[in-house]
Chains A and B, each alone.
With several copies, the nearest count.
Chain A
Amino acid sequence: MIRESQGFQPFTDEPIRLIGDGGEWLGPFELDLEPEKLKGFYLDMLAGRLIDDRLGRLQRQGKTSFVAPSAGHEAAQVGLAHAVRKGHDWVFPYYRDVSLLLALGMPVVEFAGQSLGTMADTARGRQMPYHPGSAELNVFTVASPIASHVPPAVGTALAMKLAGRSQVTVCSFGDGATSEGDWHAGVNLAGAQGAPIVFACQNNGYAISVDLKKQTGSDTIAVKAHAYGMPGYLVDGMDVLASFLVAREAIERAREGVGPSIVEFVVYRYGGHSSADDDSRYRARQEVELWRRRDPLDRYRRFLERRGLWDEDAEQRARAEIDAQLVEGIRQAQEAGTVPLEWMFEDVYAQMPERLVRQREELLG
């Protein structure tokens, strides 16, 4: 299946997997990564897992209106984040990408500020929670309409061809997104133009309640790459090393001008679709439990432990440290103060038109 790093096969029947259940290395090649890097993956996954808890609490207290948990998706998101050249490449995330965004370097205070809609939100309180963006990090601001970010993502990749700065765009979405017309329109354009982009699908088997069988007739998302003349990689998205290495290969392939590709990360979401969902209506508890056994953090912790890079002590310290950072970031976000009412009328256009000046007057005057 796998020849070597830089030689993963597309369209495999089984997801590419590099860490076994017991944490053993399965790769047919030597892993060539620094211990700090290896530990970094774990720390980033832990941050993703813990921030959901923290924001979930705020949501239940009525302090924020919505949470889209990424528990179960952390390995895919963190692997992907580490494969990106941060601040150089562009990333088009979707609402479930909190682990991705933190791992890309988005400060907690910014993410939390966006969710809380306080002055700590660089987007000025304009959107519901879990919809951040960052001009600094080249992270396109999340939009709710599923797959609507796919054609714009391809647009940045076309622009990169002109700019010639060896950049790549990564576009992230769920399995359900692949049914939208906009998804197809974007991926097809990328294929026709050979745009430097990687389409990263977190396939958690559900779009809210709709399972993959009702979503599409194909067995995998990766196989859809055939339709666009590009490779489609199928990866165990609960294996952070497989996620990272395959994503890196796909991204570097795009950077070298070889062309775009689809990477499917097979994952599972442990929680409901969002804080508004009741998943007991459509899936059995046993199914959730089964997937939890493949937990990306547990498995990867075993991997680190086998290599002597981790132990219970490190775990306790890391958790405490990360949680403290989260608490502090959230505190800063909460204390940043309220977004003023009149901001409602700004940023519709570069210059506020007369009509909006009058409407502002109507409300405030």
Chain B
Amino acid sequence: MTSTQAVRERQSGVKTMAQAIAATLDQEMARDDRVVVIGEDVGKRGGVFLATDKLFDKYGPDRVIDSPLSEAAIIGAALGMAVYGLRPVAEIQFADYVFPGFDQLVSQVAKIRYRSGGAFTAPLVVRMPAGGGVRGGHHHSQNPDTHFVHTAGLKVVYPSTPSDSAGLLRSAIRDEDPVIVMEPKRLYRSVKEAVPEGDHAVEIGKAAVRREGDDVVLVSYGGSMAETLKAADALTEQGIGAHVLDLRSLQPWDETAVLEAVARVGRVVLVSESPRSAGFMAEVSATISEEVMDSLLAPPLRVTGFDTPYPYVQDREYLPSPNRILKAVERALTY
């Protein structure tokens, strides 16, 4: 990119996802001095994906805290700060590394409001780059979203665009409850778009319609939106209209948008890169059956990551590809 182009893009608010996140954090920290950032390498390093770039210089070591190498310390300290009255945004360097801090999330963060009868609350955010496609092998590619969705007390969002990353992060920071913000790391730098300036917020729990269509509903979120949209475009070329929903939030998820679309269209393919077995899309499938079974012309079909640890050599093949999505659509259409 030439430098004039870069300047023009910056002025017009055109940003990658990583830039949109850093900018949102900056704006929220400027707006509200209760907002603090904590994580590994979030300080001088600006985060290994630069999602906290320049915050350290601007806000100093008390508000941009380079933690020791411990996810339990990060999440637990964020909880303590939130209980005290701050609005911490914790970064887990890779979603795969949330597990050493999983007890803090499940036993403390998710339950503090409940167990204290509302006396203490956890208005905090835990951001984490997630998902595959970066040749990282199974400890840099996993998608633990289902574990969070299954944990009462947590909210979970999973944007797929720079704008939604900014808008959902802002909503998460301002939310009264703990929100897990999953970020599809393979899209961090690959897409740019104009991100609305100012108080742009995206409501947690609302899906976005990415394509309109009457033949099949495609439901996806996060990293897999890219492949889902490719599949939808291929279908358009074949004259098949796909109604594409980007869930954006997984807990709560937009049941209304999904059920209405499925009731209307009768065929649905659910796309997620999380492992299949007891994965989040099983919940969507079960809910569809429970609520609108009579409208179904074909069973809800899942295209997901496989029930293996995330592979290395087959990094791309693990992910739901446009091809696998199209095969499922075909099965749904010809059922």
Contacts and interface: CB of A to CB of B under 8 A. Distances in A.
B69 A141 contact: no
A162 B45 CA distance: 22
Interface string A125-167: 1111001011100001101111111111111111111110000
Contact of A140 (B85, B120, B255): B120
Contact of A144 (B120, B137, B177, B324): B137
Contacts of A290: none
Contacts of A144: 96, 137, 139-140
Interface stretch (A184-192, A257-265, A324-332): A184-192
Nearest to B256: A354
A33 interface: no
**Interface band, chain A:** 35 or more
Contact of B138 (A65, A90, A124, A126): A126
Nearest to B308: A348
Nearest to A339: B313
Interface string B293-335: 0000000000000111101111001100000100000000000
Nearest 10 A/B pairs, CB to CB: A155-B80, A151-B76, A144-B139, A209-B45, A124-B117, A123-B117, A179-B68, A128-B137, A155-B77, A159-B84
B276 interface: yes
Interface of B: 36, 40-41, 43-46, 48, 62-63, 65-70, 72-73, 75-86, 88, 96-97, 99-100, 103-104, 107-108, 111-121, 135-140, 152-153, 155, 175-177, 205, 252, 255, 276-277, 306-309, 311-314, 317-318, 324
A350 B205 CA distance: 15
Contacts of A182: 72, 76, 100, 103-104
A354 B251 CA distance: 11
Contact of B137 (A131, A163, A350): A131
A40 to B, nearest CB: 27
B115 A141 contact: yes
Interface string A169-180: 000000011011
A338 B119 CA distance: 20
Interface of A: 65-66, 90, 117, 121-128, 131, 133-135, 140-141, 143-163, 176-177, 179-182, 185-186, 188-189, 192-193, 207-210, 214-216, 276-277, 281-282, 338-339, 341, 343-350, 353-356, 359, 362-363
A107 to B, nearest CB: 15
A148 B83 contact: no
Contacts of B63: 162
Contact of B96 (A123, A145, A153, A347): A145
A345 B308 contact: yes
Contacts of B277: 355
Given A127-B137, A341-B317, A155 B69 contact: no
A133 B73 contact: no
Contacts of A151: 72-73, 75-77, 79-80, 104, 108
Given A151-B73, A176-B69, A122 B119 contact: yes
